[in-house]
Structure 1
Amino acid sequence: MKNVLQIDGKEKTFRTLANLYQKVWGLKDHQSIYENFLRHSTYEGYQGLATENSQGEIIGFAYGYTSLPGQYYNNLLIREFGPEEKEKWFGNCFEFVELLVDPLYRKQGYGRLLAGHLLEGINHNTAILTTQAKNHAAQHLYRQLGLQVIKEPFYPNVQSEPFVIMGKE
């Protein structure tokens, strides 16, 4: 039975999330990952969910928060939109920041479970996220949850591969 848990905000939980993120992406700087997760949990409208395997180990998580001026990704994203689009998409927007599932548990419905519950639990007019343009599996999942590509390509930085911006009203 797959279950969804609220991320409890405890240091140990955020360290576990950072460990999983580090493992999946092969990153070295655990402390900055942990600090980002901890900081994001203090943002207005924060919602965080996790799921566990049968041994009680966190194997996936998803989170986001209200997208507000001054936040790193909000500042990047709004540059891609004209004034009317900015108001439509960012006037009262939930920024879906992260969906991550341990590769050993992918293709088993955990990502859909987490993303679906996260999007159902928000009180915003819109939701917005980014994913790599070549990540067709993620785009397919998000389309099934009602999101659509609203901008492509999107380059978060000059060295970045292309991304797409997806949104849902």
Structure 2
Amino acid sequence: MKISQWDGTEDQLDAIARLYADAFAEPPYDEDPARNLIEFPQRIRRYAAEKPEFRLRTATEDGDLVGFVLGTGIGPGDWWWDRLNATLAAPHRARWLEQQQFGVAELVVKPSHRRSGLGRALMNNVLDGLPYNSALLACYPDAVAPQGLYTSLGWTVIDPCLRVSASHPTQIMGIRLRPRTSRRITLPVRSSVEG
């Protein structure tokens, strides 16, 4: 098994998008795979161009993609950070929303490799050496297996059922990190487009 940063090629991005579309077509997500095959690569390209600490780590075995994890720096001006700031209860905002932190956007493992430790390895890899004090993620409240993984890795439930957009409510989780430096990263100015 090899874990590495996305190589930047369209071929690998296509494989990542196929794995994403397949995973999120499953319950409890039930998302449209055709739509995800178009929109997910667009989101990856946008994140790579605009967001700090862009990390898209892929796991391959014998040349085949078997999993990936995506995360970026977030802070004021970022769509997701701004939505959390607007919807989280005041005590949670005070405790968890710093000016900058890492947001884990996606963690996907191919069904044949689930419960093998790959999800754990990908999450540890993407969080390693970050210059932030904390990381946040969102998952569906009824996505039991991912929640079990996150909890076993030390993630804490911040809000069990928060509606940050018009879509499905999500469970917000956070973890404290040991930053590699104390440097601050300036986020690019973002539009209010969801992302």
Give per-residue Cα distances to partners, 1:109-129, cap 9 Å, x unaligned: 111110111122322111000
Unaligned runs of 5+ in 1: none
Answer whether contact 2:87 2:163 (CA < 8 A) is retained. Answer: no
Counterpart for residue 149 of structure 1: 157
Larger RCO (CA within 8 A; separation ≥ 6)? 2
3-state SS of 2:116 partner: coil
Residue 172 of structure 2 aligns with an amino acid whose one-letter code is I
Counterpart for residue 173 of structure 2: 166
Alignment of 1:62-77 (within 5 A): 62-77=69-84
Counterpart for residue 58 of structure 2: 50
Residue 139 of structure 1, CA deviation: 1.3
Q: Tell me how many residue pairs correspond in the alignment.
A: 166
3-state SS of 1:79 partner: helix
State the alpha-carbon separation in 2 of the partners of residues 90 and 166 from structure 1.
12
Give per-residue Cα distances to partners, 1:9-63, cap 9 Å, x unaligned: 2222222211211222231122221111111122111122110122x11111001
Normalised to the residue count of structure 1, the TM-score between the two structures is 0.88
Residue 175 of structure 2 aligns with an amino acid whose one-letter code is K
Counterpart for residue 101 of structure 1: 109
Alignment of 1:10-159 (within 5 A): 10-26=9-25, 27-29=33-35, 30-42=37-49, 43-54=51-62, 56-82=63-89, 85-86=92-93, 88-91=95-98, 92-159=100-167
State the alpha-carbon separation in 2 of the partners of residues 7 and 63 from structure 1.
10
Unaligned runs of 5+ in 2: 26-32, 177-195
State the alpha-carbon separation in 2 of the partners of residues 67 and 10 from structure 1.
25
Aligned-pair Cα RMSD in Å: 1.9
Normalised to the residue count of structure 2, the TM-score between the two structures is 0.77
Query: Which segment is superposed worse, 133-142 or 91-100?
Result: 133-142
State the alpha-carbon separation in 2 of the partners of residues 6 and 84 from structure 1.
35
